[in-house]
Chain A
């Protein structure tokens, strides 16, 4: 009998221990639970082909450029569920009187919004009338109507499409302007030289800005889109140069002895943060927009670089510091106080602060070292909670993320085989979806304009 009782006791203790163990493992798993906030549905929008109103031979080419650009802009906006062109009704409405909205709101189109209009070439002008209708509101369908008149050219047809798309995004996207008219500045690898280039947000219209014949890196456009700061490897080492987009030439910017790299504009456009080794190790410095009144705000050994301002407040700076060994991501107030470490290990680089101030995107090699698994990928961290998500997976080496002004997109450099001259510029939505290549190989360090 006692042996039976002992066995029961033992069984009871074992079951209790198992229960405790399972409870503790359940508790330990909590931080890894993924809460997916799917939110509300996207707006389903149908984009009709615009109706040509003139018979000139160029009308067709402009119309094609316009239709394609408008469709792509809305498709990449990240807030729309865009209706495939195969599912649109057969008719091509050019005016509100010609549209039968019940056709568009019924299956298979099921559109909540319809963008349509007409396009004509009159003399040397391209005239576009765009309409946006709410297909579910039979009483007051019209959301807005716009007329655009520009000199007739392919570029202008695309430009008008960008403007019309931005207007639609502004009206339907909760007051956040579209990015269809924004620019991306980047480094073009030309043999041994690296020059600064500019392109539209969708990769079109790529053209050179600088012709220095040197190694130019880290372009950063000013908040008012008037000046471009970048670092140049000259005969006296690294220095920061300033390029005026208004004058289309480099303008005077003082350089100190010792390297100055990785400039970053404050959101006011009045200050420039950068990394400088003028006192020995690389530290973060802040100067006026003219390069004067520079002062040091960090004093940490191990190298400090890649500052980025909080664009919302202009009062904090995130940067990369090697004060504890491998480079990690830190934030501090713009006077150098309140230092906080955000990453817990690995190799972090090139932070970019989101326009709403909530997130920071950065490149991170979480398991850095010889033979370590994984590679360098783009991550986004919420500053307040230090929770992060990985946006790129298995796509090769990714670096230099930069937020779009609407905070919905991130542009970054990607090299699928890890070789520097194979690097190209990619863009994605801020949740890591809709990755598209904007350039071919030989483009690096993108920077999205502020507006």
Chain B
């Protein structure tokens, strides 16, 4: 019975010293392994770093590699005989009747030649004032690529380009659209767009400008795929109170492409 601990202290201490010894031993063991590994890692040379060259494979450049010679051509190749085959003769031409001689045809002696009078058409003088270009019919495809933007504004990390659907207006009141583009660019804070998701993308916003110059019906025509870029473009237009009254017309529809780049 003396082998068993009787008092609670002895019971508690039954494995105490052994366990502590084991933990210390393991800790020392692990510390030793890690320390040895770190020591080896930091204090010994890396593989091949300081090794002498004797016994190593030496490589030297050669100018050419002696490749095996090519296979000699087969002389008696049945597929390509030396003598060319006989070309087929063209079919014989059909015998044609000779054309009738001039004397054979009866010609009326005094046939009056028809007189062709041509009145001289006066070339129209070029217009004194510049003429408006007619509104060309819309193409069904490829239109986006062909339309040149009326106004392009550069901001930090972005380009805002404006196109107006009414091209006559765009040509006549270019200065107004320049102002629209400038106002939007002033109000577009590219910091609102997350650069990680917005770089290289563009959002297209479409809106109307009413007669008094206030923007209306602001909506996203083509989302960019980056929600922050979309909302920064929308915010740019929502910040605008007005572009100034329209110089002509009751309303124009404008597309604005917000390009985000670095």
Contacts and interface: CB of A to CB of B under 8 A. Distances in A.
Contact of A2 (B28, B189, B243): B28
A4 B156 contact: no
A139 B170 CA distance: 11
Given A5-B35, A40-B181, A140-B174, A175 B154 contact: no
Nearest to B42: A4
B130 interface: yes
Interface in B105-141: 130, 132
Given A39-B186, A40-B182, A40-B185, A4 B155 contact: no
A140 B243 contact: no
A422 interface: no
A134 interface: yes
A1 B31 contact: yes
Interface in A169-217: 170-176
Given A4-B35, A39-B186, A173 B244 contact: yes
B14 interface: no
B26 interface: no
Interface residues of B, number: 35
Contacts of A143: 175
Nearest to B36: A1
Contacts of B156: 36-38
Contacts of A40: 153-155, 181-182, 185-186
Contacts of B178: 43, 112
Interface string B17-60: 00000000000100110111011000000000000000000000
Contacts of B186: 37, 39-40
Interface string A105-144: 0000000110000000000000000000010111110010
A39 B156 CA distance: 8
Given A5-B31, A37-B189, A175-B213, A140 B245 contact: no
A175 B245 contact: yes
Given A5-B34, A40-B181, A139 B245 contact: no
B5 interface: no
A38 B32 contact: no
B76 interface: no
A75 to B, nearest CB: 19
Interface in A348-375: 356
Contact of A137 (B36, B175, B245): B175
A139 B171 contact: yes
Interface in B154-187: 154-156, 171-175, 178-179, 181-183, 185-186
A27 interface: no
A346 B154 CA distance: 40
A35 interface: yes
A8 interface: yes
B242 interface: yes
B104 interface: no
A37 B185 CA distance: 10
A4 B132 CA distance: 86
Interface of A: 1-5, 8, 35-41, 43, 112-113, 134, 136-140, 143, 170-176, 356
5 contacts: A1-B39, A35-B189, A41-B154, A43-B178, A176-B244
